[in-house]
Structure 1
Amino acid sequence: MPDFIFAYHGGKTPETPEEGAEVMAAWQAWFGAMGDAVVIPGNPVGQSKTVSAAGVADDGGANPLSGYSVVRAADIGAATDMAKGCPMVVSGNGTVEVAEIIEM
């Protein structure tokens, strides 16, 4: 079965410890529901920079990356179905870009 990267865009930092606990519980429940399909749980990422031939932009571009995970699924349709349960998608605070990781 192929692996897929989930690239997270958006989301927001919890404003209180209680909100942080709720967000963490939602992520843990989602990962738990996917079970062994979660190959690398991943992490959130910090401020990004965009590097191009024109130079380096400090803003991370139009839709900066906020984190990543790697999952295993039968095909991209199954992977996108899993991504629909992402807490950022469910809450409307972000999106998940799904792409197959091509073995070289």
Structure 2
Amino acid sequence: MTKFLYVYHGSGKIPATEAERHEMMKAWDAWFASLGADVLDTGNPVGMSKTVMPGGKVENNGGVNPTGGYSIIEAKDIDDAARKAKSCPILAAGNANIEIAPILDMRTMTAG
């Protein structure tokens, strides 16, 4: 099994009411429960980021595709990780996506 980083992009809207936030968390909790032990770190939402460009220029817009949060999931391969991501509640909003990348262990990598 390999560890995968899920980076959530888009939406970024936190529900306005306590009841809406509760419903949102129920959906996320149910999704994480459906993945079981494959959830290594449920992660967290993140605030607006800054991007440091070559030469030191800093952009305050969060980049081209602002990050909304992250999770770390275990899967057989990237296709399995993508399959697991398809039922993530963030996708229900219709204006969000999930970037998936394998987490590489630098200690076990060798020079090619």
Q: Match of 2:104?
A: 102
SS of equivalent residue, structure 2 residue 87: coil
- Equivalent position amino acid for 1:16 in 2: T
Q: Match of 2:18?
A: 17
CA shift for structure 1 position 93 = 3.4
Q: Match of 1:6?
A: 6
Q: Match of 1:83?
A: 85
- 1:38·1:72 contact (CA, 8 Å) conserved in 2? yes
RMSD over aligned Cα, in angstroms? Answer: 1.0
For 1:93 and 1:22, how far apart are their aligned partners in 2?
19
% of aligned pairs identical?
47
CA shift for structure 1 position 77 = 0.4
Trace 1:38-49 onto structure 2 (pairs within 5 A): 38-49=39-50
Q: Could you list the per-position Cα deviations for residues 58-104 of structure 1 after superposition, in whole angstroms to 9, with x for gaps in the alignment?
A: 00111100100000000000000111111111231311000001111
For 1:77 and 1:90, how far apart are their aligned partners in 2?
20
When the two structures are superposed, what TM-score results if normalisation uses the length of structure 1? 0.95
Q: Could you list the per-position Cα deviations for residues 42-63 of structure 1 after superposition, in whole angstroms to 9, with x for gaps in the alignment?
A: 0001110011115000001111
Listed as ranges, the gaps of 5+ residues in structure 1 are none
When the two structures are superposed, what TM-score results if normalisation uses the length of structure 2? 0.89
Query: Which segments of structure 1 move beyond 2 Å, counting only runs of 4 or more?
Result: none
SS of equivalent residue, structure 2 residue 97: strand
For 2:30 and 2:83, how far apart are their aligned partners in 1?
16
Listed as ranges, the gaps of 5+ residues in structure 2 are 107-112
Q: Match of 2:61?
A: 59
CA shift for structure 1 position 15 = 1.5
- 1:49·1:58 contact (CA, 8 Å) conserved in 2? yes
Q: Match of 2:32?
A: 31
